[in-house]
Structure 1
Amino acid sequence: MASRRDDLLDAAIGLLGEQGVRALTHRAVDAAAGLPAGSTSNYFRTKEALFDAIVERVPARERANFEELAAHLAPRTTTDLAKALAAFARDSAGRERALTLSRYAILVEASRRPELRERLADSGARVNAWFTTWLRLVGSTDPDHHLHVVGNYLTGLVLHQLAIPDPDFDPTAHLDALLRSLIQTQHEQGSQASGS
């Protein structure tokens, strides 16, 4: 069960994602959480303290979402993995839209606050571990490189969907084509190397 602190942070994440950093005031978070005035300042004395707590909460929620997906996923083909990643993309741009927009707001803030960069990098390590395992399962012999390529492509897809929503958004075929291309290319390169 979520604590009052988590309720406040989730309300703050909604504000940050939907209205940006400027909307992130103690009074606005109290109102968004439906709690009495002063509730947010009881937990987070300053706006910086509130933002730092959000920086911890966003990745925790994202990891929980990703682990929920991972618990039911053992892809054997690129199509299996593409379907799972497409579902994650649709969720990120739909049900979890505010959470995803909050992550982008944090990334922008990290350009001004270098200390946030390391925290953000650390938060993605577990998700990256799942992702590289899945890439191996579908035939990748260079999952670290493929993680970078597919991860950035997936981020771009989600960002585009957030900015210019398509009601029929389904990137499954594009993700499958990318995965097939990467894995087929590596196998062709391996065959050429062994034949030379």
Structure 2
Amino acid sequence: MVQNPARRTALTDAAIDVLAREGARGLTFRAVDVQAGVPAGTASNYFANRDDLLHQTARHIHHRLTPDPAVIAELLRAPRDRALVTALMHDLLGRITAERAGYLALLELRLEATRRPDLRAELTGTIREQLEANIAYHVGEGLPGDRETVVVLYLAMTGLLVEHLTLPEVLGVDGLAALVGTMVERIVPSA
């Protein structure tokens, strides 16, 4: 396997775009090469097979969806209350909306994981780790609520994101900010 990290990143970025646009069935080495604007056969030099491409793409998606530490640090200057949780959820909504292809690709990988046990195990582990890290972070930062609060908020935001990114006309975009506020108000206990 070729070891050019910048090229590998460009190829996994291209794979994310292909997944988001074409779905898992459209994810081929050729499609990745075309999307990345590289010579035919390049992707096959970086990934042992399609499963390797799927696994490395799954890992890279989570990197792309990670929040900006400076933005989070700025948000955390506020009191630990519902308003802060609401601001954090607005940041999440904004990041995922801006990184629409990454989130749609993740949804495609989740669907593909129902047919590929190894991918399912990897995604389950990664997403479980992230959820546990979010729970620990929420509790450790002294935000209102407990473990169950974070899990319910995670499920509510996941549903909102899926709806917003796949069928935005169902909820409309005008009321999303208010909806996020309502979700936090109903899920997160007052401090």
What range describes the TM-score normalised by the shorter chain of this pair?
0.7 to 0.9
Counterpart AA for 2:46: Y
Equivalent pairs: percent with the same residue? 28
Q: Matched residues in 2 for 1:11 and 1:68: separation?
A: 27
- Deviation readout 1:57-90 (Å, 9 max, x if unpaired): 1223223x36564343315221222122123113
SS of residue paired to 2:98: coil
Q: Which residue of 2 aligns with 1:82?
A: 86
1:126 and 1:17, CA in 2 relative to 1: closer, same or farther beyond 3 A?
same
- The runs of 4+ residues in structure 1 deviating greater than 6 Å are none
SS of residue paired to 2:56: helix
- Deviation readout 1:140-166 (Å, 9 max, x if unpaired): 1x2x11111000110111111112225
Structure 1 position 182 matched with structure 2 position 187 = yes
Counterpart AA for 2:35: A
Q: Which residue of 1 aligns with 2:100?
A: 97
The 5 Å alignment of 1:1-196 reads 3-63=6-66, 65=67, 67=69, 69-74=71-76, 75=78, 76-92=80-96, 94-124=97-127, 125-126=129-130, 128-134=132-138, 137-140=142-145, 142=146, 144-165=147-168, 168-169=173-174, 171-184=176-189
Query: Does the CA contact (< 8 Å) of 1:128 and 1:147 recur in 2?
Result: no
Question: How much is the aligned-residue C-alpha RMSD, in angstroms?
Answer: 2.7
SS of residue paired to 1:3: helix
Q: Which runs of 5+ in 2 are unaligned?
A: none
Q: Which runs of 5+ in 1 are unaligned?
A: 188-196
TM-score when normalising by structure 1: 0.79
1:40 and 1:172, CA in 2 relative to 1: closer, same or farther beyond 3 A?
same
Q: Matched residues in 1 for 2:148 and 2:68: separation?
A: 20
1:60 and 1:171, CA in 2 relative to 1: closer, same or farther beyond 3 A?
same
TM-score when normalising by structure 2: 0.81
Whose radius of gyration is greater, 1 or 2? 1
Number of residue pairs matched by the alignment: 182
